[in-house]
Amino acid sequence: MSHNKTIPTVKGELLLGNLRQMKANAFQAFCDWQRSYGDLVSFRLVTRHFYLVSHPKLIEQALVKQSDVFVKMYDPKKPTGLGLVLGQGLLTSRDELWQRQRRLMQPVFQRSNLVALLPQIVSAGDHLLDRWRGLGNDAEVNLADEMLRVTLEVITQTMFSTSVLDKVDRLAPALDTLLRFSAKTAMNPLRLPLFVPTQANRQFKAAKALLDGIIYEIIEQRRNQAEPHTDLLEMLLNASDDSGNKMSDRQIRDEVITIFTAGHETTANVLTWTLYLLARHPDVLSRLRRELEQLPHDRMPTSEDLQQLVYTRAVLNESMRLYPPAGILMRKIARDTEIDGYSLKQGRLAIFSIYNLHHHPDFWQQPEQFDPERFLNNDSRRFVFMPFGTGERVCIGNHFALLESQVLLGMMLRHFDVQLLSNEETEAEMAVTIKPKGGLPVRLVARG
Ligand code: HEM
């Protein structure tokens, strides 16, 4: 093995390093740096050093072959970023705790188990369609907001059934405040610690107290109820490990918030981008509608019905290739190591760009073109296409997301035409997820 390959460093300012470029537009910066410097580059935010990785071979070597070296960077004793909000849920925990939780929760998220939640998904879809009909003919809406609304209802209904909708109305805005704060502070080493009473810190603490209060109240209520429910909360409360141990209230709180957070904005973005792309590609839309017409009109779709939707999956995949909802993954390097002959230093953070990978000209023909056909052959796309991540930390909710996206897409396309209000190409923005900058204004036209 050679240790002498040099990793290019992105040019920056003497003190701040690349902080200003990142703050201006992190998403754009990552794309530009790959193009200008290559598939492995190093950059610096003040005193903190990072690597940006955009090549399948490097990703496999790091996230699959050295998952013990490239670890989640959340420290429960000094929580930062998402860890501040999610505590030690599945997304942010590590080592034995994560392993135990993953084993405990895996069965809940199996495709066969999730089918039980289909009625809740369809009911949220029905509410959306009723709302759209209520807006009158040719209503103009921001599609990104509409998709957030419906996926929030799906995760709420599938998590808690309908028993606590009044409480959940307060939960969503509090969670939003927390996530914005965590995204802003995650990579900024100049952030003041939480005990400093800045306005942002005070708002964060108030929102967290509100959110925790609501969740603990819901858990307590449910523990005291005798009648069974078909929802994720019930499944989490009943989940037990090999020795029969169940989760504590604290762990349930962390997992509930984690699933809420990981499970709705991501799916909302997939649906928004997919409808955007379909509006710009009428030929794809017609073919997709023909396939979706096969879904039963008079009963709940079954898992087998959904398995048949080969073209729908190709469309969703191509949409997630162009606009991967989670544009990057981040890991801390636990000890000095090497990938493909490059030496990487302990303590630095590695950013794996799913976005760069999905647009890499070495692996995709005409990468900027929307072409679902490319997903209809059986080519291997391991480590080149990974909207749900890879390795042991791969998304646990991938079946949930696909089930939900297929059902909601089918319902919306059957009853409405979604027309874009602007012919301009919509710009993507990286917040916590990759979303359309400034939302997506559309006209909703009911179909006869
Ligand atoms: C299209 C929608 C979705 C996308 C693109 C997506 C993407 C991802 C990605 C990339 C990861 C890996 C993060 C990492 O390695 O650091 C992840 C993890 C995770 N996702 Fe998703 N996700 C989606 C939907 C969902 C849904 C619907 C749920 C739950 C209902 C969910 C729950 C989770 C959880 C709990 C993890 C952490 C898994 C672990 O570390 O063991 N996700 N997701």
Domain ranges, ordered by start, for the chain:
19-446
- Closest residue CA from atom 43 of ligand 1: 395
Domain 19-446 sits in CATH at 1.10.630.10
386 Cβ closer than 6 Å to some ligand 1 atom: no
pLDDT at 34 over 60: yes
Rounded to the nearest whole angstrom, what is the distance from the C-alpha of residue 401 to the centroid of ligand 1?
9
Q: How far is the CA of 388 from the centre of ligand 1 (A)?
A: 6
Q: Is 102 in the pocket of ligand 1 (CB under 6 A)?
A: yes
Residues 6+ apart with CB under 8 A from 269: 144, 147, 323, 325, 433, 434, 435
381 pLDDT tier (thresholds 50, 70, 90): confident
Task: Give the integer Cα–Cα distance in Å for 172 and 159.
Answer: 13
* Residue 188 phi, psi dihedral angles, 5° rounding: -100, 105
Model pTM score:
0.93
Mean pLDDT of 348-363: 96
Beta-strand pair 40-45/70-71: unpaired
pLDDT for 3 beyond 70: no
299-345: per-residue pLDDT in tens?
A: 888 888 999 999 999 999 999 999 999 999 999 999 999 999 999 99
Q: How far is the CA of 18 from the centre of ligand 1 (A)?
A: 28
**Closest atom, ligand 1, to C-alpha of 387:** 5
Does the beta carbon of 397 lie inside 6 Å of ligand 1? yes
Predicted pLDDT of residue 186? 66
Residue 264 Cβ contacting ligand 1 at under 6 Å: no
Q: State whether the beta carbon of 157 lies less than 6 angstroms from ligand 1.
A: no
Determine if ligand 1 sits within 6 Å of the CB of residue 81.
Answer: no
Span from the CA of 90 to the centroid of ligand 1 (angstroms):
9
Atom index in ligand 1 nearest the CA of residue 93 equals 40
pLDDT surpassing 70 at residue 188: no
pLDDT tens, position by position, 152-179: 999 989 998 865 667 767 787 888 888 8
Report the run of H or E that residue 89 belongs to, with start and end: none
CB 235 within 8 A of CB 113: yes
* pLDDT tens sequence across 100-150: 999 999 999 998 899 999 999 999 999 999 999 999 999 999 999 999 999
Q: Which two tokens stand for residue 150?
A: 């419906």
3-state secondary structure of 427: coil
The verdict on the CB of residue 90 being under 6 Å from ligand 1 is yes
- Whether 401 lines ligand 1, by a CB cut-off of 6 Å, is yes
Asked if the model's pLDDT at residue 189 lies above 70, the reply is no
Q: Measured from the CB, is residue 260 less than 6 Å from ligand 1?
A: no
Q: Does residue 2 have a pLDDT over 70? A: no
Average pLDDT over residues 6-27: 90
- CB distance 403 to ligand 1 below 6 Å: no
Full 3-state SS string of 333-363: ECCCEEECCEEECCCCEEEEEHHHHHCCCCC
